Amino acid sequence: MTTTFETVSFTYESLLEAIQPASGGRPINDPATGQQIGLVAEPGVAELDDAIHAAHAAQRGWAARGHEERSELLTLAADAIEANAEALAQLLSREQGKPLNGPNARFEVGACSAWLRATASFTLDVETIVEENGTLAELFYRPLGVVGAIGPWNWPMMISVWQLAPALRMGNTVVIKPSSMTPLSVLALVEVINSILPADVLAVIPGGRDVGERLAAHEDIAKVMFTGSTAAGKAIIRSSADTVKRLTLELGGNDAGIVLPDADPDAIAEDLFWGAFINTGQTCAALKRLYVHEDIYEEVCEALTAVAKNMPMGIGLDENNVLGPLQNKAQFDVVARLVEAAKESGARVLLGGEPEVDQPGFFYPTTLIADIDNQNPLVIEEQFGPALPIIKYSSIDEAIKMANSLDVGLGASVWSSNKDSAREVAARIEAGTVWINKHGAVDPRVPFGGAKQSGYGLEFGVEGLKQLGAPQIING
């Protein structure tokens, strides 16, 4: 198949207009300024049911196109995203709050096209399991049907693509429910992608909790992909039980980083910073607890503080900023509460910790807290914002015990000048991914998933693609 499309080109204004409701709607405000961006329709379960019905009807035709044609269409969708990247990034910055520059809005939009291209490129061959004595057993992966995707507000576009790209590539159709905090970003992304895809293959229904609950329970949804809190993930498990749905759940994390005594504080300081403060700390697999050996503890604190204090925070559309506001007031309150608990305990504030009360927007200053107990709320609860506790340790066994002490295990990292030593420590950490001398770096080719109560199922790569198919053995 060779298909050509005339790429739809949007400005920010025309893209926003394209996703506005014909009448009514709920206001969506910029978390940096409080100003209204636009309106979002609030469909209910009836509209969701209609979208699922249409997706169910379209699925067989979509599957019949085959891997090659679906991959070509996904690649063309990546082209369409790139052609509209600036309009998408501006809307994302206004709605989510993240700056245009740094590893933020433009970065996220670029990741959307990169993930589509990578997913389209994967080869999914038939696997021969046994071939001997006249027996041939082969493993195939068939489409599941309609996949329900429920996304978060921190990386709304990118994580939506993480969900929809492998689902569509495998031959499923997809219905997305975006976060009620960031629906416009996902509506806009789907508007661009659907300029390429056939009708009803991909739909987005922005709604409230009732829509999410119905999606998780609906008898015509074969699988749910969810990224969000552990509590919400448990609710989805319960809602999906009666229909025995397949699930991929990427849930809460409180990632630990361990700095070994042979690490170079100045060499790792900037990577430590971005591991913790990417997207202003609003990332599931961000570094949220930093354990530093006593021999270099003060040096790491000083080097990290020197980097952090020079990272500008402000309105995302200002090209100079690399940190933005928290996306919503509820998350601002969580960060403020946890930092206050640390301060009241006597922990040492290296930077930040005092938000300006009279400024517009949900800005919380970049905050580093040292000399803090491992049982402090700022350590044991996921802060999901720009505040990092730094805990001193004396022995590697002590650091590993503290790192493994929580019931979550999405990611972790080890920092050392000796990669062999770092790998030995990494093997003892209970987490789905352990990075060495970096934190949170994801790759569309490398499987990603959590341990313990950080969820189950894999995303990315061929292994992630397989999770969107039903395995079938043909034995004869």
Q: Provide the annotated active-site residues.
A: 250, 284
| CB of 176 closer than 8 Å to CB of 160 | yes
Helix H or strand E encompassing 58: helix 45-64
Q: Please state, in angstroms and rounded to a whole number, the distance separating the CA atoms of residues 239 and 75.
A: 34
Q: Please state, in angstroms and rounded to a whole number, the distance separating the CA atoms of residues 309 and 329.
A: 24
Q: Please state, in angstroms and rounded to a whole number, the distance separating the CA atoms of residues 314 and 184.
A: 21
| 179 strand-pairing partners | none
Q: Please state, in angstroms and rounded to a whole number, the distance separating the CA atoms of residues 385 and 326.
A: 7
Beta strand pairing call for 173-177 and 146-150: parallel
Handedness of CA 48, 51, 56, 57 (dihedral sign): positive
Structure tokens at 270: 């900037």
Residue 368 is given by DSSP the state E
Biggest alpha carbon–alpha carbon distance for the chain: 79
Buried (b) or exposed (e) across 124-133, using 16+ Cβ within 10 A?
eeeeeeeeee
Closest-CA residue to 81 (of 193, 195, 242):
193
